[in-house]
């Protein structure tokens, strides 16, 4: 019985040391989570209960093993993190400082993804490839980017600094800095603080389905206008 109590005390001590180490090493990431999630009530809540932070802690360790070419061990850790958090970050990805995954479940970050500083991902985000290609096949995300819930950013494209990807958007082309992108396929609705008129966005007016819908909408608007 005395031995059991001793073992419990040692385990509790180790847990406290682990929490203290995570709090010190990941201080910036924890503070970022607090800043970006209004629901986060305390530092300790983020440390103990935020699976986005837990996935990041395991990723940092797995990435070290990946860099040492210990691929199986690296993958073993990342799959373990996926099991417990629902967030799958490939250990080969490169992630900057103050990274935060909010809610987290269903997030996938591919092997050759590069993520800048101060990036926020919501649940269901995929940074993925577009097919079976080798080499750099996942996106490069700039600094201070927010990617909304369920958005897919696919292929070796780049998303510029300070951009927002709307929830459920599917982005398959480069996004310039300071842009907001929504829809499927993703189209820019705001750039450098100015709203973009989609009807003048020549990259997308060539989409025949969109054109047909826009024509029908404008005829409907005219008819409705006449009848009133």
Q: Which stretch binds ligand COA (CB under 6 A): 27-35, 110-118, 129-137, 162-170?
A: 162-170
**How deeply is 36 buried, as exposed, middle or buried, from its count of CB atoms within 10 A (0-12, 13-18, 19+)?**
middle
- Which residue is listed with tokens 């007016």? 205
Residue 184's DSSP bridge partners are: none
Instruction: Please return the burial class of 82, using the count of CB atoms within 10 Å of its CB with bins 0-12, 13-18 and 19+.
Output: middle
Q: Which is nearer to ligand COA, 91 or 166 (CB)?
A: 166
Does 122 bind ligand COA (CB under 6 A)? Our answer is yes
Q: Is the distance from CB of 179 to CB of 188 less than 8 angstroms?
A: yes
- Per CB under 6 A, contacts with ligand COA among 24-63 are none
| Span of 22-30, 72-80, 89-97, 160-168 interacting with ligand COA by CB under 6 A | 160-168
Candidates 183, 185, 191, 204; binder of ligand COA (CB under 6 A) is: 183
Question: Rounded to an integer, what distance in angstroms lies between the CA atom of residue 171 and that of residue 166?
Answer: 10
Q: Is 157 among the residues that bind ligand COA (CB under 6 A)?
A: no
Question: Is residue 186 part of the contact set for ligand COA (CB under 6 A)?
Answer: no
Instruction: For residue 164, state whether it binds ligand COA (rule: CB under 6 A).
Output: yes
Choose, by CB under 6 A, the member of 156, 168, 191, 210 that binds ligand COA.
168
| Residue nearest ligand COA, Cβ-based | 148
Stretch binding ligand COA (CB under 6 A), from 2-10, 12-20, 181-189, 210-218 = 181-189
Q: Is 54 a catalytic residue?
A: no
Catalytic, out of 54, 103, 138, 204: 138
Q: Please tell me whether the peptide bond between 106 and the residue prior to it is cis, using omega within 30 degrees of 0.
A: no
Q: Is 204 in the site for ligand COA (CB under 6 A)?
A: no
Binding residues for ligand COA, rule: CB under 6 A, are: 103, 122, 148-149, 164, 166-168, 180, 182-183, 189-190
């Amino acid at each position: 019985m005395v031995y059991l109590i001793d073992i419990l005390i040692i385990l509790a001590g180790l847990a406290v040391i682990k929490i203290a180490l995570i709090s010190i090493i990941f201080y910036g990431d924890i503070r970022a989570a607090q800043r970006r999630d209004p629901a986060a009530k305390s530092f300790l809540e983020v440390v103990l209960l935020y699976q986005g932070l837990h996935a990041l802690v395991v990723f940092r360790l797995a990435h070290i093993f990946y860099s040492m070419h210990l691929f199986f061990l690296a993958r073993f850790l990342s799959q373990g993190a996926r099991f417990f958090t629902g967030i799958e970050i490939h250990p080969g990805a490169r992630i900057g400082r103050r990274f935060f995954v909010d809610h987290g479940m269903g997030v996938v970050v591919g092997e050759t993804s590069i993520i800048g500083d101060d990036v926020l991902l919501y649940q269901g985000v995929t940074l993925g490839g577009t097919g079976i290609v080798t080499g750099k096949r996942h996106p490069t995300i700039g600094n201070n980017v927010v990617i909304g819930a369920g958005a897919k950013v696919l292929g070796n494209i780049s998303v510029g600094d300070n951009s927002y990807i709307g929830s459920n958007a599917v982005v398959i082309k480069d996004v310039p800095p300071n842009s907001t992108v929504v829809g499927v396929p993703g189209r820019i609705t705001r750039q450098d603080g100015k709203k973009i008129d989609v009807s003048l966005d020549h990259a997308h007016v060539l989409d025949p389905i969109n054109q047909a819908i826009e024509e029908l909408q404008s005829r409907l608007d005219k008819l409705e206008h006449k009848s009133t």
